[in-house]
Structure 1
C-alpha cells in the first residue's frame, strides 16, 4: 500500500472537472490504473470493504491527497481494450435495432436542412425547458419508441449501462434513455469523433466520477450506419459503469 501511495505523485493525467454532456452534473476524471487499483483492492486481504471505502472517501476529501490521486499514471490502452470488448459484446448486438435506425432516418429527413442558427435556437429552447418545467421538445426525445427501447436495454444490463443517447446526422438528440443537459451534441467528442469521422469511427471517453451518484462511468461513442448502404446516419453514446469494464 505504501508503494502504491508513493507512486501517485508521478506523472499522469491531471484532475479535471467538467459537465459530462449526458446529464446535469459535474464529472471528475480518474485515471484508469488508479480506478482499477481501488476496484481490485477494495475487498482484499487485511482490509474490510468499509475500511477501504473510508480510505477512498478520505482521499477525495483532502485537496492534497486528491491531487496525488489524480496525478497517477493512466494506462489508456487497457481502458480502450476493455471498452472495445464491451462495445462488441454488450452494445453492438442491439445498437442497430430497426426502431433505432428508423428513428434516426426519420429525424434526418426533418433536420437535414436546418441551419446552425436553427440548431442553436433548439438547443437554447431545450435548456430553457430544463429550468422551466415545460417539456414539449424534451418529451419528443425521451418519450418515443426508440427511447423506450433504449431504457429497456439499460434495464436489461443490470446496472452495467447507465445511459444512452442517439443522435442524428446533425448531432441533435433523436432518443435518449434519460434527460440530457443539452439537445445538440454536435460540438462534443461523442459526435465530432464519430459521425464526422466516418462509418467505422469509435470514441472512448475517460472513466469519470459522477459526483451526483458517486459512480464511475465511461462513455463509448460510435457512428450509426444505414444497414443497407453502410453510410453514416448518426451516432450513439452509451455510458457504462466503470466496474463493468473489469
Structure 2
C-alpha cells in the first residue's frame, strides 16, 4: 500500500495548522506625542505608529502572546471608543476615576515629566492663563486638581506660539514632548523657561469586553512590563546630581545612627555560590508576599529592625533600605526584598567596578535609572555605596536605598 498520499495529506494539515496559529491581535488607540508615540508614513504610504511607549506596549503584548494593531486618533475620540467597547484598549493616559469604573488599568507603560513652560522666569502664579492640548492627560489632571484651564488647543505645536504672542501665561506639557518641538523650532521654544510640576505615570486601559473575554491577558502583560521598560526612563544630569547630594546626606545619617559593619557581620554568610542560588530561587518564588525561613531570620536581626525604624522617619522619599555583604547576599533589610542575592545586579556590580577604578566613599556611589517597583507601586531609583574599609578593592559590603523619584524631586523644584 502506498502511504505517500496519506503522509502528504497529514503534512498538509499540519502545515496549515502551523500557518494559522498566529498571535491574537490587540486593537489599540493612542494619540500623537513624539517621542513616545507618533504616526509616520511607512512604505507604500501606509501609516505606522512608532515611539518608545509603543515599543514598550508591543514588547509586553508580544511576550504575553499577542500582536498589536495601533492607530493614532484624537484623545477624546479614543476615550469615547474605549467606553463603548469599540476598541480593546487605549494608551498612554493618566489615571481616570471615570475610566476605572468601566475599564481595567495596567501597570504604568511610561513615565512623563510635566513642566509648566512660560516666557518669563518667575514662578507660575495661581491666576495664570494655562494652555493645554484638548482631551490630554494634562488637561484632565489640571481639572481634577482644581486648576483653571484657560485655553485648549488641538495640537502641541500651537502652545509655544500662543506663549510667544502673550495669549497664555503658561503651557503644561511633558518635557521631552516640548524638546521634540524645540528640535523643529528653536527660535520660539528656545526662549521658554521650564518649571517642574510632577512625574506622571501613564497607563494602558483595556475595555470591559476585552478583559471579560481575556481575563489572563492583563496579569501576563503586567508581568512583562518592567523588563520591556528597562533603561527607557533615565535621569537628567541635574536630577542625578541632586539625588547624589541627597543620598550622600542619607548615607551619612544612617552611618551615624547604625553600626553598618556590625550589622553586616551579624547577617548570614553563605560561601557557596550553589547554596546562594538555591536560597535565592526559593526566596524569589515566595517574595514579596511571603518570606522564606532565611528571610524571616534576617528580618528579625537588630540591623534589619534598625533599618526599618530609620526608613519610617523618611517614608515619603525612602522606599527601602538594605545591606549586602561583600559576597552580594542580603545581611539586613528594612522589609522583605525581591531577592536574596544582589551580587549579579548593577547596584552591587557598579559599586565594585567604581572601587576597582580607584573611586572611594561617596564617589563610588551608583545611581540607577528610574524603574517601576510593583511591590510599592512607585517609581524609584536605587542608590548604592560601599560600607566599611576597602581591602584590595573589596569593601565589607554595600548599603542600598530605594528613593521615590517623584517625591525626591518635588521637594526640591530647583530647575
TM-score, normalised to structure 1, is 0.69
Q: Secondary structure at the match of 2:327?
A: coil
1:105 to 246, 262, 265: 265
1:195 Cα deviation after fit: 3.4
**Alpha-carbon separation, structure 2, partners of 1:230 and 1:98:** 24
Contact 1:224 1:236 in 2 (8 A): yes
Q: May I ask how many residue pairs the two structures share in their alignment?
A: 219
Contact 1:167 1:175 in 2 (8 A): yes
2:204 to 57, 61, 68: 61
Q: Structure 2 matches for 1:1-246, cutoff 5 A?
A: 5=33, 8=36, 15=56, 34-35=112-113, 37=115, 46=130, 47-50=142-145, 59-61=202-204, 76-95=236-255, 97-107=257-267, 110-111=269-270, 114-128=271-285, 130=287, 135-198=292-355, 199-200=360-361, 201-211=364-374, 213-226=376-389, 232-242=395-405, 243-245=407-409, 246=412
Distance 1:15 1:6, change over 3 A: closer
Q: Deviations over 1:184-240 (max 9, x none)?
A: 111101111113542432111122333454422211111112399996111111011
1:8 Cα deviation after fit: 5.0
Hey, what does 2:64 align to over in structure 1? none
Hey, what does 1:66 align to over in structure 2? none
**Alpha-carbon separation, structure 2, partners of 1:77 and 1:184:** 30
Q: Which has the higher strand share?
A: 2
**Alpha-carbon separation, structure 2, partners of 1:206 and 1:174:** 24
RMSD: 4.2
Contact 2:352 2:393 in 1 (8 A): no
Distance 1:235 1:36, change over 3 A: farther
Segment of structure 1 superposing worse, 183-192 or 198-207: 198-207
**Alpha-carbon separation, structure 2, partners of 1:94 and 1:124:** 30
Distance 1:173 1:216, change over 3 A: same
Q: Secondary structure at the match of 2:259?
A: helix
Q: Secondary structure at the match of 2:384?
A: strand
**Alpha-carbon separation, structure 1, partners of 2:233 and 2:283:** 38
Q: Secondary structure at the match of 2:396?
A: strand
Q: Secondary structure at the match of 1:61?
A: strand
Distance 1:158 1:72, change over 3 A: closer
Q: Secondary structure at the match of 2:294?
A: helix
**Alpha-carbon separation, structure 2, partners of 1:123 and 1:152:** 26
1:139 Cα deviation after fit: 1.3
1:9 Cα deviation after fit: 5.3
Contact 1:223 1:232 in 2 (8 A): yes
**Alpha-carbon separation, structure 1, partners of 2:144 and 2:236:** 27
Q: Deviations over 1:22-61 (max 9, x none)?
A: xxxx986856xx33539x99x9954345489xxx57x423
**Alpha-carbon separation, structure 2, partners of 1:213 and 1:134:** 17
**Alpha-carbon separation, structure 1, partners of 2:287 and 2:378:** 23
Higher relative contact order (CA 8 A, sep 6+): 1
Q: Which has the higher helix share?
A: 1
